[in-house]
Structure formats: C-alpha cells, structure tokens
Amino acid sequence: MKTALMTLITTGLLVTSSSILAVDINHGKSLQQKNCMKCHDDGMYTREDRRVTTPDALRNQVQRCEVNLNLKWFPEDVDAVVEYLNTTFYKFK
C-alpha cells in the first residue's frame, strides 16, 4: 500500500512538473509581436548575415532586447520568446 501511494505521488509530481516546465510558444509569439516588432520585422531572423548563430546567442539577444526595452519579463516570458523564435525561424537543435 505504501509503495503504491509513493508511486502515485511521484507520478503526480512528474506530470505536474512537466506541465509547469512546458514553454507556451503562443505566449512567446504574442510577446514577440507586441514588443519585438516595434523595432524590426521578421526579416531580422531570416537574413543570411544574421549575428545569432547559436541557441545561447538567441537567448542572450532576447534578454538584451528585453532589458533595453525595459520590459521586465519573467524568465518564463524570455523562454517563451526564445522557443517561438527558435521554432519558427532559427531551428537550432
């Protein structure tokens, strides 16, 4: 009985934590369109000579823009924008 209860609790925690950790790509798209598009269009992400060439560089650039625009995003917001940009444009692994 104790083992079954522990298994149930552990499974519940894993399911809960994985849903909490999921990045909301639609939220990232919304933030990007509301904020990033004020300064540039999607051509920034698709140009051949883009400076962002790694996942870390993408995260750093999103954070730099967030600070420069004084957006005061939560880390989850940065994650969502990075995920949206990567999934849609950069396609880093």
Could you report the per-residue pLDDT of 1-19, keeping only the tens digit for each?
666 555 545 555 444 344 4
The total number of structural domains that make up the chain: 1
| Structure-block tokens of residue 42 | 């999607």
35 part of a folded domain: yes
Residue type, 75: P
Does 11 fall in a domain? no
Q: Which domain holds residue 71?
A: 24-90
How many beta carbons lie within 10 A of that of residue 61, not counting itself? 16
pLDDT for 22 equals: 86
Does residue 73 belong to any structural domain of this protein?
A: yes
Q: What's 57's domain CATH number?
A: 1.10.760
Q: Given this model, what pLDDT does residue 16 score?
A: 39
Residues 78/18, Cβ–Cβ less than 8 Å:
no
pLDDT at 12: 52
Pick out the chain residues at pLDDT < 70.
1-21
Q: Is residue 1 part of a domain?
A: no
Q: Is residue 10 part of a domain?
A: no
The full DSSP string for 33-62 is: HHHGGGT--THHHH-TT-S--SHHHHHHHH
| pLDDT for res 65 | 96
Q: In the prediction, which pLDDT does 3 show?
A: 62
Q: Which residues lie below 8 Å from residue 10, measured CB to CB, with a gap of 6+?
A: none
